[in-house]
């Protein structure tokens, strides 16, 4: 009854057809050429939900080859259900190797975390982005935000930072601190914690940001200057885990998860699951650590 | 596998899938055949095809069965499947004047050329549960069809015909113009191949509305009638029927490839009640003509969607930032079913890193406050000392 040869036979290599891949690659190259600029792309539907990493998948599947080793993390963890699901899909479709080992991966797709371990020039970090438009909080219309970017008119976002400081005493609440890329475009680093933001600057690896639902790609090429927005006197700060040690490794100086036991007692563990494994087995991999200004 | 907060993600997924099947089958009833779903869940199939943007009744029926009737998921499955299909040909522009009409009504005139044809509609049935349906069997279905056939007098049958359009009346009287706004962006845009940029050409608006979620579109259209817009369009013509699809093959010959059922709506709106706001923003209506249409077309029989599409299309040509339905960005982004469905549901994904970042920030604020209040206390103490 249903003549669906596509399902009986196999999908194209890495699922996406070659024309679409070509488009994604071209748009990715454009994004790399204009650091921090959001490049619109067609963003076809994928067999996973919008908002669950379709943009990341588009990038990963357009980059991956049979010789690649792919790692997928969600909120720092390799074993999170969505990470498992995406990893399985990529592995089945691209017939590539997959790994938990950050250092062994050639492509790392991540949601909301940059790995603690330093990434090299042989690696690409693909970040899933829910809202690529950093100005959306201050301007709801796409037509206007594009003009604001073109004119480098970022006054409104500076005002929100100022207001956040006046109200709360800190520059901003939570993840996704706005960044200035290569001195030109203000962009979102995706909702990574502030802890990860300094690692975007002058890194050896390529950072790609895929927002499938919003149909945008942006990039931070290797060795590109990335500055978190801050004032001369009120400086950007990363999360401080004061007096906190990982209950699984006894170590500190990493982004921590707060975990509650049955009796509501609180303990902490290192969030990056592979980093935690390596720390426990030793030696501790090298990190770029940021010291908060006074 | 090393230590992780969530262990055994893969096992959990597999078990979840098994449980879905268990809950589907645990009633141990006869499985519904795809053919049954395709024919007896006709309107659900039509809706899934429209929102899934793929005219494929059997695939839509399979999708509906697979997802236990969830209209969002069914549309999603069709879209995901559609995205894997190669685009071999482009269809010629459909000519809905060639439609084999099942149903055709107009609310602008009592009589229209060719006549009003009520056709298959539930509009005038009482919404009472019908227990007789519980007794339906293949036998009773046969009997019903035979009875219907016998009731037809062959002498009274018309020759197969097509119908002129109600808008022809307006066109002939010069109340409506074939000339669009000369400033209108008439590019044929493909929303599946390119990300939209605002302002969006009309072709892209129509494509996106035709693929939008029926309920979301209804919400937009409804809002224009009760306080958040100034339209109360009139149904110039609503027709449901089959339209031939043709392609041009590689040798340049036009080929008939089949027919699709569509709902077409032409909502007639006057430019008399055009808001000054819309006029100021260059609301696009044809010069000189008194009437214009809001156009709706969607797959299958989905009259709610057809009408709402016509109303919203019309509203979008009179931009007005005060009303959601007159705002391209608001309507087009938020009625897009797959994106809205996916993103609202992504809230089920873990967010503990983002949450932790927010929590840490909140704690820092609390710490700052505490320090500040201590400073104030110390300052106050020092002041008292000075008085001594």
**Same domain, yes or no: A244 and A143:** no
Q: Model confidence over A151-210: pLDDT tens digits?
A: 999 999 999 999 989 988 888 768 999 999 999 999 999 999 999 999 999 999 999 999
Q: Is B15 on the interface with A (CB under 8 A)?
A: no
- Tell me if A23 is assigned to some domain: yes
H or E element that contains A29: helix A18-33
pLDDT at A10: 67
Looking at the structure of chain A, the number of domains it has is 2
Contacts of A108 (CB under 8 A, 6+ apart): A70, A71, A72, A73, A102, A115, A119, A123, A124, A125, A126
**Same domain, yes or no: A118 and A252:** no
**Same domain, yes or no: A140 and A270:** no
Q: Work out the minimum CA distance from A252 to partner chain B, whole angstroms.
A: 16
- Whether B353 and A76 lie within 8 Å, measured CB to CB: yes
pLDDT at B273: 43
**Same domain, yes or no: A125 and A216:** yes
The pLDDT of residue A2 is above 50: no
* pLDDT digits (tens), chain B, 388 positions: 344 444 577 888 899 999 999 999 999 999 999 999 999 999 999 999 999 999 999 999 999 999 999 999 999 999 999 998 888 888 999 999 999 999 999 999 988 988 999 999 999 999 999 999 999 999 999 999 999 999 988 888 877 788 999 999 988 888 888 877 777 888 889 999 899 988 899 999 999 999 999 999 999 999 998 889 877 789 999 999 999 999 999 899 999 999 999 999 999 986 544 444 444 444 444 445 688 889 999 999 999 999 999 999 999 988 998 999 999 999 999 999 999 999 999 999 988 888 888 888 888 888 888 888 888 777 665 544 433 4
Residue A218 with chain B: CB contacts under 8 Å: none
- Tell me if A49 is assigned to some domain: yes
**Same domain, yes or no: A100 and A201:** yes
pLDDT at B380: 66
Find the domain containing A244 and state its range.
Answer: 240-284
Residue B185 with chain A: CB contacts under 8 Å: none
- Whether B343 and A50 lie within 8 Å, measured CB to CB: yes
What is the edge-to-edge ordering of all strands in the sheet holding B254-270? B100-105, B234-248, B254-270, B291-299
pLDDT at A65: 96
Cα-based distances in Å from A128 to A36, A65, A84, A87, B256: 15, 20, 15, 14, 44
- Whether B84 and A15 lie within 8 Å, measured CB to CB: yes
**Same domain, yes or no: A23 and A130:** yes
Residue B85, judged by CB atoms within 10 A of its CB (0-12, 13-18, 19+), counts as exposed
Residue A50 with chain B: CB contacts under 8 Å: 338-339, 341-343, 346
Q: Model confidence over A45-90: pLDDT tens digits?
A: 999 999 999 999 999 999 999 999 999 999 999 988 999 999 999 9
Long-range contact set of residues A275-281: C-beta below 8 Å, sequence gap at least 24 = A275/A102, A275/A115, A275/A116, A275/A117, A276/A246, A276/A248, A276/A249, A276/B2, A276/B3, A277/A100, A277/B2, A277/B3, A278/A117, A279/A246, A279/A249, A279/A251, A279/A254, A280/A248, A280/A249, A280/B2, A280/B3
**Same domain, yes or no: A261 and A174:** no
The pLDDT of residue A229 is above 90: yes
**Same domain, yes or no: A105 and A190:** yes
Q: Work out the minimum CA distance from A81 to partner chain B, whole angstroms.
A: 4
Higher pLDDT, A132 or B233: A132
Domain with A47 in it: what CATH number? 3.40.50.11310
Residue A6 with chain B: CB contacts under 8 Å: 81, 84-85
The pLDDT of residue A143 is above 80: yes
- Tell me if A212 is assigned to some domain: yes
**Same domain, yes or no: A149 and A205:** yes
pLDDT at B227: 85
What's the CA gap between A57 and A48, in Å, rounded? 9
What's the CA gap between B306 and B311, in Å, rounded? 9
What's the CA gap between A275 and A118, in Å, rounded? 11
What ipTM was reported for this prediction?
0.85
- Whether A277 and B369 lie within 8 Å, measured CB to CB: no
A45, A192, A240: residue with CB nearest B83: A45
Phi then psi dihedrals of residue A109, to 5 deg: -100, 130
Q: Are B222 and B17 in contact, with CB atoms under 8 Å apart?
A: no
pLDDT at B388: 40
**Same domain, yes or no: A166 and A249:** no
Angle at B52 between CA B32 and CA A63, to 5 degrees: 115
Residues of A (248-277) whose Cβ lies below 8 Å from B: 248, 255-259, 269, 271, 273-274, 276-277
**Same domain, yes or no: A187 and A209:** yes
């Amino acid at each position: 009854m249903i003549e669906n040869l596509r399902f009986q036979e196999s999908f194209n290599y890495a699922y996406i057809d070659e024309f679409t891949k070509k488009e994604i690659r071209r748009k990715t190259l454009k994004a790399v050429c204009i650091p921090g600029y959001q490049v619109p792309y067609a963003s076809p539907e994928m067999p996973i939900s919008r908002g669950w990493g379709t943009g990341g998948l588009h990038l990963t599947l357009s980059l991956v080859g049979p010789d690649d080793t792919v790692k997928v993390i969600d909120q720092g963890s390799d074993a999170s259900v969505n990470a498992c699901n995406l990893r399985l899909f990529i592995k089945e479709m691209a017939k590539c190797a997959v790994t938990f080992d950050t250092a062994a991966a050639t492509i790392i797709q991540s949601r909301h975390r940059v790995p603690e371990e330093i990434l090299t020039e042989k690696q690409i970090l693909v970040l899933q982005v829910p809202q690529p438009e950093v100005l959306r909080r201050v301007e709801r219309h796409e037509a206007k935000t594009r003009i604001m970017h073109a004119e480098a008119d970022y006054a409104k976002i500076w005002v929100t930072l100022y207001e956040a400081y006046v109200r709360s005493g800190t520059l901003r609440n939570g993840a996704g601190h706005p960044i200035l890329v290569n001195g030109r475009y203000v962009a979102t680093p995706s909702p990574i914690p502030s802890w990860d933001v300094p690692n975007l600057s002058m890194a050896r690896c390529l950072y790609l940001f895929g927002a499938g639902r919003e149909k945008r790609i942006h990039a931070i090429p290797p060795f590109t200057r990335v500055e978190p927005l801050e004032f001369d006197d009120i400086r950007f700060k990363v999360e401080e885990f004061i007096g906190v040690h990982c209950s699984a490794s006894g170590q500190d100086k990493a982004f921590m998860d707060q975990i509650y036991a049955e009796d509501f007692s609180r303990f902490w563990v290192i969030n990056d699951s592979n980093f935690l494994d390596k720390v426990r087995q030793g030696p501790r991999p090298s990190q770029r650590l940021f010291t908060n200004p006074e | 596998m090393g230590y992780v907060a969530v262990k055994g993600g893969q096992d959990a997924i597999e078990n979840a899938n098994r449980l879905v099947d268990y809950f589907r089958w645990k009633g141990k009833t006869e499985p519904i055949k795809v053919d049954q779903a395709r024919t007896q869940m006709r309107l659900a199939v039509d809706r899934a095809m429209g929102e899934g943007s793929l005219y494929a009744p059997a695939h839509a029926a399979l999708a509906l069965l697979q997802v236990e009737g969830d209209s969002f998921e069914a549309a999603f499955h069709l879209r995901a499947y559609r995205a894997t299909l190669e685009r071999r040909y482009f269809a010629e522009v459909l000519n809905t004047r060639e439609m084999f009409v099942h149903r055709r009504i107009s609310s602008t005139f009592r009589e229209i050329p060719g006549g009003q044809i009520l056709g298959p509609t539930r509009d005038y049935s009482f919404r009472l549960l019908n227990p007789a349906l519980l007794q339906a069997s293949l036998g009773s279905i046969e009997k019903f069809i035979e009875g219907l056939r016998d009731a037809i007098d062959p002498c009274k049958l018309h020759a197969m015909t097509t119908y002129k359009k109600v808008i022809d009346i307006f066109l002939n009287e010069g109340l409506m113009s074939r000339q669009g706004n000369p400033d209108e962006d008439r590019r044929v845009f493909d929303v599946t191949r390119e990300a939209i940029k605002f302002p969006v050409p009309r072709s892209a608006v129509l494509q996106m509305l035709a693929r939008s979620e029926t309920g979301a579109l209804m919400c937009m259209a409804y809002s224009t009638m009760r306080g958040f817009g100034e339209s109360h369009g009139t149904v110039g013509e609503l027709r449901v029927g089959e339209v031939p699809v043709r392609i041009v093959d590689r040798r340049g010959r036009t080929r008939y490839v089949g027919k699709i059922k569509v709902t077409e709506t032409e909502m007639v709106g006057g430019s008399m009640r055009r808001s000054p706001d819309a006029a100021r923003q260059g609301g696009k209506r044809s010069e000189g003509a008194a009437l214009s249409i809001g156009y709706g077309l969607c797959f299958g029989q989905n009259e709610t969607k057809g009408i709402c599409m016509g109303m919203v299309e019309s509203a979008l040509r009179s931009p007005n930032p005060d009303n959601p339905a007159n705002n391209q960005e608001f309507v087009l982004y938020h009625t897009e079913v797959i994106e809205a469905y996916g993103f609202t549901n992504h809230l089920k994904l873990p967010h503990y890193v983002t949450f932790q970042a927010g929590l840490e920030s909140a704690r820092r604020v609390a710490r700052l406050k505490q320090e500040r209040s201590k400073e104030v206390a110390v300052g106050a103490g020092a002041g008292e000392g000075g008085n001594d």
